[in-house]
């Protein structure tokens, strides 16, 4: 059950869920962790969708309150680890300095104005998309919410394999060393299973999942080039920022689907 150990490593590193025992951190197990990134996302998405269902169906709270708790859950469950990466990467990016200086800025524990402003915009945008999506809530919405973190984690795993490391130390480097070209072989299998399941449910479900795949793939193509140009390679902060950015973009996709394709 090495895949289960990989998933537990992900829970230990990327969530606030306590794992009360030591896990092996050799390259083989970290590689399993990368392979199970999408499963971690699926687990997170299921929590968000179930929380929303409970708040809408079993509580007297308003849609605004439900949106706030789903938004807050996404922060608390991850412990803000990816938000920290977003802040640091934003500080570095908006400094408009060279690659070396940007890497130095990301190492600085202090938070600059650009990082603060950027995370405010990110969180505000996510809250807007969550709230307005809940305002137009349909049964299919819950299914799509489950897959938002799934695809953001899939992009994160693909970037780990496809983009070179910018430095040799840090959490990002630890995972990067374990990432091999064949690590992503299982990702297309995940996609085929999901597409088959979506097709069995309805054409609308399949269309929504295809939209998520297209958006995620296009973002991956852009990021794998721009990360090299902006930062000289991948770091833990850039990886976290990419995950957060993908998730917000997919929330926006779901929001737009409710306006123009659903209902």
Of the candidates 203, 190, 181, the one whose C-alpha atom is nearest the C-alpha of residue 261 is 203
Write the DSSP symbol of residue 202.
-
Which of left, alpha, beta for 80 (phi over 0: left; psi -120 to 50: alpha)?
Answer: left
User: What is the pTM (predicted TM-score) of this model?
Assistant: 0.96
Cα–Cα distance, 7 to 37 (Å, whole number): 7
> Each residue's pLDDT tens digit in the chain (263 positions)?
667 888 998 999 899 999 887 888 878 888 898 999 999 999 999 999 999 999 999 999 999 999 999 999 999 999 999 999 999 999 999 988 888 899 888 888 888 899 999 999 999 999 999 999 999 999 999 999 999 999 999 999 999 999 988 877 666 667 777 778 888 999 999 999 999 999 999 999 999 999 999 999 999 999 999 999 999 999 989 999 999 999 999 999 999 999 998 86
Cα–Cα distance measured from residue 80 to residue 6, given in angstroms and rounded to the nearest whole number? 21
For residues 181 and 74, give the distance between their C-alpha atoms in angstroms, rounded to a whole number.
30
Domain boundaries, given as residue ranges, for the chain: 35-260
């Amino acid at each position: 059950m090495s895949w289960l150990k990989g998933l537990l490593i992900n829970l230990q590193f990327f969530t606030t869920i306590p794992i009360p025992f030591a896990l092996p951190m050799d390259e083989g197990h970290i590689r399993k962790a990368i392979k199970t990134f999408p499963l971690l996302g699926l687990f997170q998405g299921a929590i968000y969708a179930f929380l929303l269902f409970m708040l809408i169906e079993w509580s007297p709270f308003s849609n605004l309150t439900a949106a706030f708790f789903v938004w807050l859950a996404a922060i608390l469950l991850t412990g803000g680890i990816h938000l920290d990466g977003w802040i640091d990467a934003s500080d570095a990016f908006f400094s408009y300095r060279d690659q070396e200086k940007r890497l130095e800025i990301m190492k600085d524990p202090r938070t600059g104005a650009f990082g603060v402003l950027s995370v405010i915009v990110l969180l505000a945008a996510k809250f807007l998309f969550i709230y307005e999506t809940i305002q137009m809530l349909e049964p299919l919405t819950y299914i799509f919410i489950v897959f938002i973190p799934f695809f953001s984690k899939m992009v994160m795993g693909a970037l780990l394999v496809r983009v070179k490391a910018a430095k040799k130390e840090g959490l990002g480097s630890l995972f990067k060393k374990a990432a091999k070209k064949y690590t992503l072989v299982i990702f297309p299998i995940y996609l085929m299973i999901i597409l088959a399941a979506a097709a069995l449910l309805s054409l609308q479900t399949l269309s929504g999942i295809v939209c998520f795949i297209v958006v995620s793939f296009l973002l991956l193509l852009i990021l794998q080039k721009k990360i090299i140009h902006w930062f000289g390679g991948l770091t833990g902060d850039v990886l976290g920022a990419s995950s957060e950015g993908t998730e917000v973009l997919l929330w926006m996709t779901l929001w737009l689907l409710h306006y123009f394709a659903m209902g």
